[in-house]
Amino acid sequence: VGHGTWQDSFWHPAADEPLETTAFALHTNLMVTAFGGSIDGTDVMWDVTNLSRPQRLSQFEGGQPVALSPDGRTVATTTYGGQAAIWNVADPRRPVKLTTLSDGDGGKVWALAFSPDSQVLAAAHYDRISLWDMARPARPRLLGTLDAPVTAPGGDGNTPISEQDLAFAPGGTILASVTGTDQVTLWNVADPARAERLAAVDGRGDFIQAFTFSPRGNLLGAVTYHSAVLVYSLADPARPVRAAAVGGLLTRAFFPSGKPDRKSTRLNSSHITI
């Protein structure tokens, strides 16, 4: 309570926090950017109708992680205490804070994702994923919780490498999350209240840093910490099949001369696209 009161009283827009991530609304010309994640963490709404001249619409308390619902009406972001906060951005020039999510544990949220129809929000913590009914964003309802622990590559802690390891497939019935030292787990969330584990894909002994679904949802692309690109066929989501594996692809893309700085060859990006 003390932290929340202090934050509400003294928060101000970040002046020099780094850009952490961006999120787009699928069916609108809106984008949200997140700067920092500490007391001065800030989210900024943009109109990107003209891509050469994005228009800044508003800024509000938030930070990384952040998710923008596909219908462009709701932003899920973080609070100073690490909980998920829900904002109404139906009028993107005047965001209104609706509520703060709590599943009873109070643990820090490290990833957020909306379903394609904007009706479900997945909030990932270090050891679980909470699924929320967002039909009424001002009063989200907890649908269920998935047991999904995330451990560091060394196996000595519960700290994920990337903060973007959570995504719904385009059809909305499958959710992917990082679980374990080098795995992505696929969950059947067709009925979020009765979600269940489908399968897991591994990172060939390397920690999966980022992943994404193809537009049709039949492929899952993943990038490992040491820049290997892996592609899995999801023709049968319960039995993913590795269709391709390319090592060093990102290193070659970043350093066409073939002479990379050895200290900079590891992947730092947290987003890829198929």
Instruction: State yes or no: pLDDT of 100 exceeds 90.
Output: yes
146 pLDDT more than 50: yes
Inter-residue contact 114 to 66 (CB < 8 Å)? no
Q: Are strands 196-202 and 183-188 parallel, antiparallel or unpaired?
A: antiparallel
Task: Give the pLDDT score at 3.
Answer: 44
pLDDT the model gives residue 274: 59
Q: How confident is the model at residue 39 (pLDDT cuts 50, 70, 90)?
A: low
pLDDT of residue 26: 82
Please write the tens of the pLDDT for every residue from 179-195. 766 688 999 999 999 99
Do 248 and 258 form a contact (C-beta atoms < 8 A)?
no
pLDDT at 239: 95
Q: Which amino acid is at 274?
A: I
Q: Give a three-class secondary structure readout of the chain.
A: CHHHHHHHHHCCCCCCCCEEEEEECCCCCEEEEEECCCCCCEEEEEECCCCCCCEEEEEEECCCCCEECCCCCEEEEECCCCCEEEEECCCCCCCEEEEECCCCCCCCCCEEEECCCCCEEEEECCCEEEEEECCCCCCCEEEEEEECCCCCCCCCCCCCCCCCCEEECCCCCEEEEECCCCEEEEEECCCHHHCEEEEEEECCCCCEEEEEECCCCCEEEEEECCCCEEEEECCCCCCCEEEEEECCHHHHHHCCCCCCCHHHCCCCCCCCCC
Q: Is the pLDDT assigned to residue 214 strictly greater than 90?
A: yes
The residues, ordered by sequence, that sit 6+ positions from 230 with a Cβ below 8 Å of its Cβ are 201, 203, 204, 208, 221, 222, 223, 224, 242, 244, 245
Instruction: Kindly state the percentage of the chain with pLDDT values over 70.
Output: 74
Buried (b) or exposed (e) across 232-246, using 16+ Cβ within 10 A? bebeebeebeeeeee
Say whether pLDDT at 231 is over 90: yes
Task: Indicate the pLDDT class of residue 71, thresholds 50, 70 and 90.
Answer: very high
What per-residue confidence (pLDDT) applies to 91?
97
pTM: 0.81
Residue 68 has pLDDT above 70, yes or no: yes
Is 60 exceeded by the pLDDT of residue 122?
A: yes
